[in-house]
């Protein structure tokens, strides 16, 4: 059953091939038997999952099943789950059980989905390799000596290894797309404001966006149908109708204008990845699309602007972790300052501390204009580049990541090199645009992702463009050996 | 000896009277058990987000319109970052660069009766913090987050005040205004209305301001006056002794009646303000502003002018009666049911205010309702009782003995109008005081007062003084 997509699982559940309880049990058993190789889960839900699965079976028996009823999935451990530990990959929240569900979680629960567990991630979503997690690194199922990417590395690895048929993730600078690319799965970061951020532990509020990691674009559409929409508890979510993302799949691509980002074919790009992207574009031409080269002249500002804005926001967002009300508290604090210093000092990892310090500096009196304001100006230029580009093209394509999965530990001590892993993905966050990564081949037996960036709220087109490609390729169907 | 001039600016924090908090649905009622009115958003739990309560925006607009200020078409919420146990998120959501209200003004009345215009630099919206409780926790500190997220309007004045008296007059004026507007209960004991005072001194004639100190968190009119006066004296003493005032934050200690240093400028925190990415800019259309304007109540100035023209009151009486909306409403209720504006004004300003002050009771809690006061005024105007007896009736009403008519009836205070009865008294008084009769007849008019007094005494106060006066004149003049 674990080689099936969500769409296939729904058909089998409807036809009675197996029940949700059997399906859920199967995945829980796979997690128990296989995850020790990957460390993709922080918490498995076990009993609670079976209770929900049985409830879903009853719902189906009563004729009330929807398209996702009874299908299991995993949540990134950044989404608050009522009664189930939410650690955010940090020692700080190792003891934290949220008293409420994130909106994404409650919407998927309402759709009848069964939570298998919470997936591993970089601490507070800060990282591109899943090596900053308090719970240890996640290993890439294609080669357990390499990283799965990050920060949604646990979700990507779990879907790739079929330890979950799908998972949720969050993307602040590429945290859905880059691990999707490195693990060979499909990942979608929706338009900023499309999916509620309520209950999703904030890293950088103006950039964070939740989205699905799935085997196929068709599955991503199914999940987005349930996840998207206005939430009165999130002021930045947009009150705008949600189309049926599944309905548009299969539409003809004849005449589709694809913009190829000139600047992304730079010396930092792995030759094999470049070839895979070229091959993908050749497929699109066969499907009737037209490829034109475009320029995003301010794209080189993305990484510097991001590494001011994201740390600035995180330095403030993470202030609530102070050892006073919840989370880690140091033992026997001597006074208030000691309580703060040791609770935060002992519970945050080095990458989180680095970003808090960078962000605190960038917001300080005397530096604010030079860093934060300047970064916001750069952000506007980057967005304007895209707005201009979308006047002449329908979607923009390029590589998701500059290279396939790198070795565990290879970049862990070199933050700048690590930050460059997100060089192609960050711009979409700064601009607030929807973007996907779809499996587009292999280099040295490691998956490569094609990034597709769409115009604002153009997720339906984005999903169809990915879907049509998946109809003529099978990269997304490959399963890493040992996990078949 | 150098002559010094005081310069004062006030930052007033007024709690807005909304049902729920500024960024969450939790209730704002005062006095609930600790942490019973703090929801996930107020606790700053991981993942929660603020959603603006639109009512606070409308209240800020009302205030802005009342002080003839500019209402920003677009204002921004910012985060003020600092660590404190009663600040759950590690930042306070406030407004910094683009506040909702800017450049207003307000007239205050000085003791000599003249008016002075005080500029209001800005008023911005923000959330209150919780409270740290240091008592009853065995050396530990308890945190109560009921107040966290309560909406505040911070009203920042220009440094336009030149004495503690002016500062108090301004603070009272703002206090009356927010209550007139119904946007705050202004309850100072509960901390709903409190202020910080920026105080400096300079040699008279000097253009530049002196170095200021900021006096924090003062929650009564009396303390504002005392704190400023103490601080002004401290600064002058310091300067005259050849010292320097340093820029610092000081705390007023009401028990010791002194201010003391909290932190200096060097220790001042860097709040690292930046726009809150969780909240959208507040955009206000001119149509919306006009719709709010249409709901504004009559403001103190307009009410004062109306009292003068409609009721024929003296300007100073009208000022006193419109100082608070409650007093103005009370007065008008008395006028409406008694039909006697001038008597009503005298009684509200005189007897009633005296009793309320003496027992420190707000007019809204007066044991004598407007209807009861009107009742006694009606009996004065229809000559049932004299003004003197009315004071006894008032006192009895204050002590809960019933309404005016009941008291007059029970105590037999009805004025004696029977001419025969009064004539007998007058005759007796004249007969008993031959010496004074001689004096009066010799032209000493003042003695008439003595006779009236004696007659009133003999009637137990129930005589009509005017009537007695006439009768005495008639008889003595013979």
| Segment A80-106, tens digit of pLDDT | 999 999 999 999 999 999 999 999 999
Considering only CB atoms, A336 lies closest to which of B44, B51, B85, namely B85
The answer to whether the Cβ–Cβ distance between A364 and B270 falls below 8 Å is yes
Taking contacts as CB-CB distances below 8 angstroms, the residues of chain B near A327 are 46
Question: Phi and psi at residue B402, in whole multiples of 5°?
Answer: 115, -170
The answer to whether the Cβ–Cβ distance between A235 and B79 falls below 8 Å is no
C-alpha span between A158 and A66 (Å, rounded): 24
Nearest CA-CA distance, residue B36 and chain A, Å: 15
Nearest CA-CA distance, residue A3 and chain B, Å: 34
Taking contacts as CB-CB distances below 8 angstroms, the residues of chain B near A79 are 47
Summarised one tens digit per residue, pLDDT across range B247-292 is 999 998 888 888 888 877 767 789 999 999 999 999 999 999 999 9
Q: What is the mean pLDDT of chain B?
A: 91
Q: Which residues pair with A43 in a beta bridge?
A: A118
Taking contacts as CB-CB distances below 8 angstroms, the residues of chain B near A87 are none
Extended strands (E) in A249-406: 257-261, 290-294, 395-399
Exposed/middle/buried for residue A137 (C-beta within 10 Å: 0-12, 13-18, 19+): buried
C-alpha span between B24 and B146 (Å, rounded): 12
The answer to whether the Cβ–Cβ distance between B46 and A206 falls below 8 Å is no
pLDDT at A84: 95
B-proximal residues of A, 417-446, CB under 8 Å = none
Best residue of A79, A200, A233 to probe chain B, by most B CBs closer than 10 Å: A233
Considering only CB atoms, B274 lies closest to which of A93, A325, A363, namely A363
Angle of CA points A271, A277, A279, to nearest 5°: 105
Q: Within 10 Å of residue B332's Cβ, how many Cβ atoms?
A: 19
Nearest to B126 by CA among B105, B157, B147, B104: B147
Nearest to B415 by CA among B375, B384, B393: B384
Nearest CA-CA distance, residue B396 and chain A, Å: 56
B-proximal residues of A, 281-340, CB under 8 Å = 312-313, 315-316, 318-322, 324-327, 336, 340
Extended strands (E) in A271-328: 290-294
Which residue did the predictor score with more confidence, B269 or A202? Answer: A202
Inter-chain contacts counted by CB atoms under 8 A, chains A and B: 101
Q: CB neighbours of B174 closer than 8 A, spacing ≥ 6?
A: B12, B14, B106, B155
Taking contacts as CB-CB distances below 8 angstroms, the residues of chain A near B90 are 316, 318-320, 322
Q: Residue B24: closest CA among chain A residues belongs to which residue?
A: A233
Peptide bond just before A151 cis, omega within 30 deg: yes
Q: Which residues in chain B are classed under CATH 1.10.10.410? A: 419-477
The answer on pLDDT for B417 being more than 80 is: no
Annotated active-site positions of A, please? 76, 151, 175
Hunting for tokens 């605190």 — which residue is that? A360
Q: Would you call A99 an interface residue with chain B, using a CB distance cutoff of 8 Å?
A: yes
- H or E segment at B427? helix B419-432
Task: Give the Å distances, CA to CA, from A262 to A291, A298, A432, B51, B427.
Answer: 12, 12, 21, 41, 121
pLDDT at B478: 54
Hunting for tokens 């991981």 — which residue is that? B46
User: Which DSSP letter does residue A392 get?
Assistant: T
Taking contacts as CB-CB distances below 8 angstroms, the residues of chain A near B144 are none
C-alpha span between A179 and A130 (Å, rounded): 9
Q: What is the mean pLDDT of chain A?
A: 96
Nearest CA-CA distance, residue B263 and chain A, Å: 16
CA–centroid distance for A245 within its chain: 19
Q: Within 10 Å of residue B254's Cβ, how many Cβ atoms?
A: 13
ipTM for the complex?
Answer: 0.96
C-alpha span between A101 and A124 (Å, rounded): 18
Nearest to B2 by CA among B226, B209, B201: B201
Share of chain A above pLDDT 90, in %: 95
The answer on pLDDT for B303 being more than 80 is: yes
Number of H helices, E strands in chain A: 16, 11
pLDDT at A100: 97
Q: Residue B81: closest CA among chain A residues belongs to which residue?
A: A316
* Contact yes or no for A264/A478 (Cβ under 8 A): no
pLDDT category, B411, cuts 50, 70, 90? confident
pLDDT at B1: 67
**Domain B419-477 indexed as CATH 3.40.50.720:** no
Q: CB neighbours of B126 closer than 8 A, spacing ≥ 6?
A: B22, B80, B92, B93, B94, B95, B151, B152, B154
pLDDT at B85: 93
Nearest CA-CA distance, residue A158 and chain B, Å: 24
What tokens does A118 get? Answer: 């919470």
The answer on pLDDT for A233 being more than 90 is: yes
Summarised one tens digit per residue, pLDDT across range A359-408 is 999 999 999 999 999 999 999 999 999 999 999 999 999 999 999 999 99
The answer to whether the Cβ–Cβ distance between A364 and B279 falls below 8 Å is no
The answer on pLDDT for B137 being more than 80 is: no
Q: Residue B273: closest CA among chain A residues belongs to which residue?
A: A363
* Contact yes or no for A120/A40 (Cβ under 8 A): yes
Summarised one tens digit per residue, pLDDT across range A13-61 is 999 999 999 999 999 999 999 999 999 999 998 889 999 999 999 999 9
Summarised one tens digit per residue, pLDDT across range B144-196 is 999 999 999 999 999 999 999 999 999 999 999 999 999 999 999 888 999 99
pLDDT at A63: 94
pLDDT at B416: 76
Summarised one tens digit per residue, pLDDT across range B331-383 is 999 999 999 999 999 999 999 999 999 988 889 899 999 999 999 999 988 88
Q: Which residues in chain A are classed under CATH 3.90.1300.10? A: 6-256+392-406+431-477
DSSP assignment string, B81-121? E---TT-TTSEEEEE-SS-SEEEEEEEEE-TTS-EEEEEEE
C-alpha span between B58 and B64 (Å, rounded): 10
Nearest to B474 by CA among B434, B446, B440: B440
* Contact yes or no for A482/A315 (Cβ under 8 A): no
**Domain A6-256+392-406+431-477 indexed as CATH 1.10.287.130:** no
């Amino acid at each position: 059953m674990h080689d099936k997509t969500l769409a296939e699982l729904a058909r089998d559940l409807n036809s009675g091939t197996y029940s949700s309880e059997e399906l859920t049990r199967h995945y829980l058993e796979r997690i128990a038997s296989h995850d020790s190789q990957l460390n993709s889960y922080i918490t498995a839900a076990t009993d609670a999952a079976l209770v929900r699965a049985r409830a879903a079976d009853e719902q189906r028996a009563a004729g009330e099943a929807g398209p996702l009823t009874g299908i299991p999935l995993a949540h990134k451990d950044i989404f608050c789950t009522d009664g189930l530990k939410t650690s955010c990959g940090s020692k700080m929240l190792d003891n934290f059980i949220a008293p409420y569900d994130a909106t994404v979680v409650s919407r998927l629960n309402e759709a009848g989905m069964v939570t298998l567990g919470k997936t591993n991630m970089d601490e507070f979503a800060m990282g591109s390799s899943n090596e900053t997690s308090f719970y240890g690194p996640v290993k890439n199922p294609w080669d357990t000596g390499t990283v799965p990417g990050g920060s949604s590395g646990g979700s990507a690895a779990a879907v790739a290894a079929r330890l979950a048929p799908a998972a949720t993730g969050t993307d602040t600078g590429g945290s859905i797309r880059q691990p999707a690319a490195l693990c060979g799965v499909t990942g979608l970061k929706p338009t900023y404001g499309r999916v509620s951020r309520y209950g999703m532990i904030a890293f950088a509020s103006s950039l964070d966006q939740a989205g699905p990691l799935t085997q196929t674009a068709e599955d991503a559409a199914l999940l987005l149908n349930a996840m998207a929409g206005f939430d009165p508890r999130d002021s930045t979510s947009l009150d705008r109708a949600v189309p049926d993302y599944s309905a548009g799949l299969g539409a003809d691509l004849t005449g589709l204008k694809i913009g190829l980002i000139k600047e992304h074919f730079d010396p930092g790009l792995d030759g094999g990845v470049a070839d895979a992207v070229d091959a993908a574009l050749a497929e699109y031409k066969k499907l009737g699309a037209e490829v034109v080269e475009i320029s995003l002249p301010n794209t080189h500002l993305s990484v510097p602007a991001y590494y001011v804005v994201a740390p600035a926001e995180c330095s403030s967002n993470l202030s609530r972790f102070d050892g006073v009300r919840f989370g880690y508290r140091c033992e026997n604090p001597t006074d208030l300052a000691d309580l703060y210093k040791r609770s935060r000092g002992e519970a945050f990892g080095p990458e989180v501390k680095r970003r808090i310090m960078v962000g605190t500096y960038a917001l300080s009196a005397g530096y604010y204009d030079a860093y934060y304001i300047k970064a916001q100006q750069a952000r506007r230029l980057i967005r304007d580049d895209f707005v201009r580009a979308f006047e002449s093209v329908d979607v923009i394509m390029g590589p998701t990541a500059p290279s396939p999965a790198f070795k565990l530990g290879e970049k862990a001590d070199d933050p700048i090199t690590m930050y460059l892993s997100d060089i192609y993905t960050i711009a979409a966050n700064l601009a607030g645009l929807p973007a996907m990564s779809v499996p587009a081949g292999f280099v040295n037996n490691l998956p490569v992702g094609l990034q597709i960036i769409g115009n604002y709220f153009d997720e339906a087109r984005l999903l169809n463009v990915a879907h049509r490609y998946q109809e003529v390729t099978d990269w997304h169907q490959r399963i890493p050996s040992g996990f078949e | 000896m150098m002559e010094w001039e005081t310069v004062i600016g006030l930052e007033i924090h007024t709690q807005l009277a909304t049902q729920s908090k500024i960024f969450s649905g939790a209730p704002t009622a005062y006095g609930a058990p600790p942490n019973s009115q703090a929801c996930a958003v107020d606790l700053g739990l991981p993942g929660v987000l603020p959603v603006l309560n639109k009512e606070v925006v409308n209240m800020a607009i009302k205030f802005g319109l009342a002080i003839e200020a500019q209402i920003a078409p677009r204002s921004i919420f910012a985060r003020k970052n600092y660590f404190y146990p009663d600040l759950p998120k590690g930042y306070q959501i406030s407004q910094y660069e683009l506040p909702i209200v800017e450049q207003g003004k307000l007239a205050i009345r000085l003791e000599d009766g003249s008016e002075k215009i005080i500029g209001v630099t800005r008023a911005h919206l923000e959330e209150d913090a919780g409270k740290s409780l240091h008592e009853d926790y065995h050396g530990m500190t308890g945190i109560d987050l009921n107040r966290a997220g309560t909406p505040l309007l911070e009203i920042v004045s220009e440094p336009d005040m030149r004495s503690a008296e002016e500062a108090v007059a301004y603070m009272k004026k703002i206090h009356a205004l927010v209550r007139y507007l119904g946007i705050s209960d202004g309850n100072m004991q509960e901390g709903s209305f409190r202020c910080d005072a920026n105080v400096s001194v300079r040699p008279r004639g000097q253009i530049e301001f002196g170095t200021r100190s900021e006096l924090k968190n003062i929650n009564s009119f009396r303390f504002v006056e005392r704190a400023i006066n103490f601080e002004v004296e401290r600064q002058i003493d310091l300067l005259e002794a050849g010292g320097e005032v340093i820029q610092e934050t000081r705390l007023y200690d009401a028990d010791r009646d002194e201010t003391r240093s909290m932190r200096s400028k060097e220790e001042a925190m860097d709040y690292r303000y930046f726009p809150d990415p969780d909240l959208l800019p507040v955009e206000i259309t001119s149509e919306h502003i006009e719709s709010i304007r249409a709901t504004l109540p009559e403001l103190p100035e307009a009410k004062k002018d109306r009292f003068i023209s409609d009721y024929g009151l003296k300007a100073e009486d009208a000022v006193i009666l419109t100082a608070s909306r409650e007093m103005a409403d009370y007065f008008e209720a008395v006028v409406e049911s008694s039909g006697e504006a001038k008597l009503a004004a005298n009684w509200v300003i005189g007897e009633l205010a005296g009793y309320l002050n003496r027992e420190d009771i707000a007019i809204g809690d007066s044991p004598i309702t407007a209807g009861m006061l009107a009742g006694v005024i009606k009996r004065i105007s229809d000559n049932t009782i004299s003004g003197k007896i009315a004071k006894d009736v008032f006192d009895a009403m204050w002590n809960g003995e019933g309404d005016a008519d009941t008291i007059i009836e029970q105590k037999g205070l009805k004025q004696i109008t029977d001419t025969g009865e009064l004539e007998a008294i007058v005759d007796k008084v004249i007969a008993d005081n031959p010496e004074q009769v001689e004096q009066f007849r010799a032209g000493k008019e003042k003695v008439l007062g003595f006779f009236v007094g004696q007659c009133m005494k003999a009637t137990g106060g129930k005589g009509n003084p005017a009537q007695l006066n006439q009768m005495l004149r008639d008889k003595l003049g013979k």
